[in-house]
Chain A
């Protein structure tokens, strides 16, 4: 089972790491966690709801990314994760 890493730690971006796990969990580190932590989690959960993943640990290291960037990075990561670990 492979770990997938997408994005960067540059300003306005985020680094998404997907690691195989027994259940889906979300870990968020953000420079603006107090103000936007709940919003970041909501974006991640919204993307997850479009996919059927129940076996992945999601780590989001946020450097002030807007919602669209978090969403896009996560979409790329999930597609790669499925290709690498589920063969689809």
Chain B
């Protein structure tokens, strides 16, 4: 369960070579927005060569390929390195998932796991079906594209993406996959970043993406549970293991299966944070 997903451009050797020192739990090598149309082949060649020579000990790595309706998509699929955790699929909706599968079938390639980038109005009406797709392991909000698509202004309160945040968290929870919040787009605004992270946590996201290494540490620290939450989760899990019951009372509150499941997930995230410290 990753807390932070750091985007790095696929055509910059300095960033690829340093990917393991940024402390992100997972990395997303970008072939899409960060790469000019004339440099897509450079990103593919450079990333493939890097992973071949130096890819053994890097964090879980996803590649943001180009959207299914672009001319770069088929080449991205054909040349995708085999040793990646999966892809981030831009502008995912049900049609995009169908085309993703069809392209892999035509190429006789096994489709990789997908983090579905939810960044269009249509996708939000299909988000539960997208989350239920067996290939999809996570939903990521693409806040900037969505804001543009609905013609809204970006606000400090992020009101314009509140509905999307809620729908994505709900769909991901229903499908038992990870909900990953959109990056905070202003690199040097740490106050704004912290406020944005608080909103991510309040909505119930499991993780947050970022576009600059300076944001990784704050995200990792924020997505580690508090001592109070860890203590309560430990007592819930201990009671469950002692009684073998899926329904019991603790501190006057009813505990049942979803609360036990959430407590176990929280302890797993806490352990990951402790291991990183």
Contact = CB atoms under 8 A, between A and B. Distances in A.
User: Which of B17, B41, B46, B53 has the most A CB atoms < 10 Å from its CB?
Assistant: B46
User: Which of B41, B50, B52, B54 has the most A CB atoms < 10 Å from its CB?
Assistant: B41
Interface in A26-72: 65-69, 71-72
B185 interface: no
Contact of A68 (B12, B14, B41, B54): B54
Interface of B is mostly: helix
A2 interface: no
B45 A75 contact: yes
B43 to A, nearest CB: 9
Contact of B14 (A12, A67, A79): A12
A11 interface: yes
A18 B232 CA distance: 64
Interface in B9-59: 12-14, 17, 41-42, 45-46, 48-50, 52-54
A61 to B, nearest CB: 14
Interface residues of B, number: 14
A67 B50 CA distance: 9
A6 B49 CA distance: 15
B41 A76 contact: yes
User: Which of B13, B14, B48, B49 has the most A CB atoms < 10 Å from its CB?
Assistant: B13
Nearest to B52: A68
Contact of B48 (A6, A72, A73): A72
Given A66-B17, A72-B49, A72-B50, A10 B12 contact: yes
B14 A13 contact: yes
A76 B45 contact: yes
List of 5 A-B pairs having minimum Cβ-Cβ separation, nearest first = A72-B49, A68-B53, A68-B49, A12-B14, A69-B13
Given A68-B46, A75-B49, A76-B46, 14 more contacts: A12-B17, A13-B14, A66-B17, A66-B53, A66-B54, A68-B49, A68-B53, A68-B54, A69-B46, A72-B48, A72-B50, A73-B46, A75-B45, A76-B45
